[in-house]
Structures are given as C-alpha cells and as structure tokens.
Amino acid sequence: MAPKKSLKKKPFQCFVPQFPPDVYTVIVEQVAAFPSPSKSLSALVALSLASRSFRPLCQRQIFYTVNINTALYTYSYYGRRISGKKRMEDFMELLKDSPHLADYIRDLGFSLVSRDVDNPGLAFQFLSKLHCIRKFQLTCNACLISYNPADEKLPSTFDWRKIDSDLAATLLGIIQSPSLRSLGLEGFNHFPSQALFSLKTSTLLVDLSIDFLHMDAEGACPRNDDDSSRPQIKKYRVGAYCDQVATAFLGGPEGEQAVFDFSHVEKLSFEWLRQADADAAKAIMQSARRIQDLQCTFSPHASLTFEGLADMIMYGSSQTLRNLEVIRFEPELEDENPSRGLIEELKLLSGNVGVLESITLRLTCGNNMPYDMSDKCKVLDALLSDEAAFPRLRKLSLDVVLSVPGSGVLESWDIENHEEEVEEESANIQERCFTCVAAIPGFELRFSMKIDWV
C-alpha cells in the first residue's frame, strides 16, 4: 500500500537566479540613477531586501550621500518626518550591528547649530566614525543675514573658537583628509588659518566652495620648498565676505605661497555683495585663465552695479569662456530695469569672447518692467545676433522676475489675472523682439517673465 502524501504545506521559497557580479552592479547603478532621489532611494531599499546579492551594492548607494542639519526636519524615503539629530541617533544605533556602513559615506553635508556647541557629544560620536569622506560641505545655520550696504562689518557668522575642542579637531580632520576631493565651508569667523593653509597638501582636492568665511589671522600661506604639488582646482565657488580668505589662497607679493593652483579652473562662480567681493573676483580671474563656465550672482541688497563685469572677464578668461550666467535678485540700485547696465557690459564684451556659446540672464526688476522691456530686448537681440560680436553664440536664456507689491492686498482672482497678463506679454515679447537671433540656424532661445509678489 502506497504511503499517503503529507498534507502539510511546505514553506514558500522564492527562487532568485544567480547572475555574474557585473550584472548586479549594472542593475544597482541603473536604479540609483533614477531622476527622483526619493524614488531611487526607496527602490534601492526594496532591492536590497529582495536578495542578499544586492545588499552590499545597494548599501553603498544608500549611504553614499548623507546630509545632516540638526536645526531642520527632513523626510525619510518613506515620508516620515525626522530631525537631523534623530537621523544621527538612528545611524549610531545602526552602526552597533553594522559598523562597516560608516565607510560607505563618501558625500557628507553637515550643518552646525548652537545645540551642537552646547552638547557636542552626539555630533562628535557621529563624525568620528567617518573615515572615507570624499566630499564635505560644512555650514553653520547662524549665518542668517540682515545686510546693511552701508555696514562693511562681517555679518552674523559662527565663531569657530566656541566649538568644543574634540568636535573641532574631528571636523578639521575631515577637512584636512588627504583623500578629500570636494570641500565647502560656509558661515564661520575666526576659522583656523593654518587649517586652510594646510590644504596645499590635499592634492586630490579639485572642487572648492567658500561663503561668508573669515580667518583668525590676516596674511597668506608661508612659503616652503615644495611648490609643485599644490591642488589643481577645477571648480571654484567664492561667496560674499570671502575676500580675505580668497586673497590669501592666491598668495602674496612678498613671498607668501599660493595654497591652490587656480590655472586649471574650468568652472567659476562668484557672489558679489560689496566692492571687496568684486576686487577679489578680479584677482582670481587673473590666475584662472582657462575658465569655460562663469556664474556671477549679485546678492540681495548688493551695493554694486553691473559696471566692471566685462572688464573682469576680459582681465582673465575671455578667450576660453563658453558659458556666461548672470543672476541679480533685486533691481539695480534705483533703476527698475537692470538690463540697461547689463547691455552696456555685453557691448564691451562684443568681439572679445570669440568662443562664447551660451548666455543665461536671470534678472529681478521693478513692477513697471513689462512696459519697458520690449525696447531693451530689441537692443539685446541686435547685439547678440551680430556674428562679428558673438560668432559662436547659439543659446540665450533670459528669465525676468517682476517684483510686485500687493500679495496681501489683492484678491486671488486679481493675482491670477496679473499673472496671465504677464505670461501673455512674455510670449509676445519673445515673438516680437527676438527676430534676429530666432533667424540664426540652431539658435536656442528662451524668454520668460513671472511675478514675485512681495
């Protein structure tokens, strides 16, 4: 007699086929490249749970970039609202069972606030676990500025000397790491000058960003015997109130050594708030003569006009410049139409930027601009379509923001009507005023106007 079959259900087993290691790598890289970071992160988490073969590769992607701002709440990939402090606590708990995850963090953004100074223990424990950082952005949330153009004093930044010694040493250890490739510093005064000068030995550093940064001492880096191994910076951003540090990085006429080699900079960004910022930019342009992408931002409350912009460009990289971007967040002094001064600077550039391919202009104007924009756009159209002036120019992007009062006064339907009128006028100006550049084969034109209710 044949034995009876057991009616007991067998546990469900999911068969996951085994692939060559390269296939797993390609799959994870494709998932990590999703346009939406939140969708990419959630997909990587799901993929890491699907098979153990995916887990190490997914973990490297999941923990590659970490941003900690203990003053703000952020959202996890599944929508839960968590603070930066809670994020650090969760990570420290995770490291108890999986200490190797700390080495997966390569891109770290960290913002200091007062509680990190009063209670530095958690921040110190978290940062001391990280030994493989390649990109580090250190900011301070104290740098919230109410700027008075008549006041040349350094705005509200964080005093480095108030940071706990152990925490400060850990931060400086990351900043001075020989494996660091990208560094950003923002919002500190009395920052240790020797720590900045020691960056001349960080030979892998190619990306540098400074903003509202002031050293603890004037002067430049003392000269030593080896001047050939300085980091070759390729991407450089200089914010406002950085003239002291930016000038020190360049060296000096009395034997002071330059910290970095700026002759290889390809992408340069400036933020101008005072004349000292513009002067520092001009000095940098003299050293950086291979710039291809230049961005110049006029900060809110900037006490500068566009005058001198063309002179600065011709002082440095006019023969290599391919892309120029100019951003202004407020009308130029009392002039509601900043395009006037900008057009004059572009006229000075004509014939001197032979390889310029793209111009991007983002301007904030007064509320009467729609009635004054047409004539200026026609002048701009005629200037930029001149083949002798800009022989390789094939792209113009002009975004105009109209600063209009009345957000708390007008009814919603009035606001909608105003916005529709501006949108319609924007389309008319592009069609009516940019006929010359539109006739150039392959020329890419984008013009837009929108209202910023204040």
**How far is 335 from 306, CA to CA, in rounded Å?**
12
**How far is 42 from 37, CA to CA, in rounded Å?**
9
Pick from 102-116, 128-142, 356-370, 434-448: least confident: 356-370
For the four alpha carbons of 280, 281, 282 and 283, in that order, the dihedral sign comes to positive
Residue from 437, 445, 452 nearest 404 by CA: 452
The rounded radius of gyration (Å) of the Cα atoms in the chain is 27
Does 76 have pLDDT greater than 80?
no
Q: What is the pLDDT of residue 368?
A: 53
Choose between 299 and 1: higher pLDDT.
299
- Say how far residue 224 (Cα) sits from the centre of its chain: 33
Assign 3-class secondary structure to 166-217: HHHHHHHHHHCCCCCCEEEEEEEEEECHHHHHHHHHCCCCCEEEEEEEEECC
Q: What is the pLDDT of residue 349?
A: 92
Q: What is the pLDDT of residue 152?
A: 52
Does 272 have pLDDT greater than 60?
yes
CB 400 within 8 A of CB 371: no
**110-160 pLDDT per residue, tens:** 988 766 666 788 889 999 999 999 999 999 865 444 444 445 555 567 889
Q: What is the pLDDT of residue 372?
A: 63
Choose between 179 and 50: higher pLDDT.
179
Q: What is the pLDDT of residue 382?
A: 94
Residue 238's pLDDT band, with cuts at 50, 70 and 90, is very high
Other CB atoms within a 10 A radius of the CB of residue 343 amount to 17
Choose between 331 and 96: higher pLDDT.
96
Which residues fall within 8 angstroms of residue 185, CB to CB, at 6 or more apart?
138, 139, 175, 191, 209, 210, 211, 213
Q: What is the pLDDT of residue 336?
A: 47
pTM given for the model: 0.85
CB 45 within 8 A of CB 34: no
Residue 153 is given by DSSP the state S
Pick from 48-57, 281-290, 402-411: least confident: 402-411
Does 2 have pLDDT greater than 80?
no
Burial 157-179 (b: 16+ CB within 10 A, else e): bbebeebbeebbebbbebbbbee
**240-252 pLDDT per residue, tens:** 899 999 999 998 7
Q: What is the pLDDT of residue 331?
A: 61
**409-438 pLDDT per residue, tens:** 555 656 677 778 888 888 888 999 999 999
Does 51 have pLDDT greater than 50?
yes
Q: What is the pLDDT of residue 77?
A: 44
**193-221 pLDDT per residue, tens:** 999 999 999 999 999 999 999 998 776 67
Which residues fall within 8 angstroms of residue 186, CB to CB, at 6 or more apart?
137, 138, 139, 140, 143, 209, 210, 211, 212, 213, 239
Rounded to the nearest integer, the mean pLDDT of the chain is 82
Does 166 have pLDDT greater than 80?
yes
Does 309 have pLDDT greater than 70?
yes
Q: Which two tokens stand for residue 331?
A: 């009308």
Q: What is the pLDDT of residue 78?
A: 47
Burial 194-220 (b: 16+ CB within 10 A, else e): ebbbebbebeebbbbbbbbbbbbeeeb
Share above pLDDT 70 across residues of the chain, in percent, rounded to a whole number: 78
**373-386 pLDDT per residue, tens:** 788 889 999 999 99
Q: Which two tokens stand for residue 147?
A: 């700027």
Residue 88's pLDDT band, with cuts at 50, 70 and 90, is confident
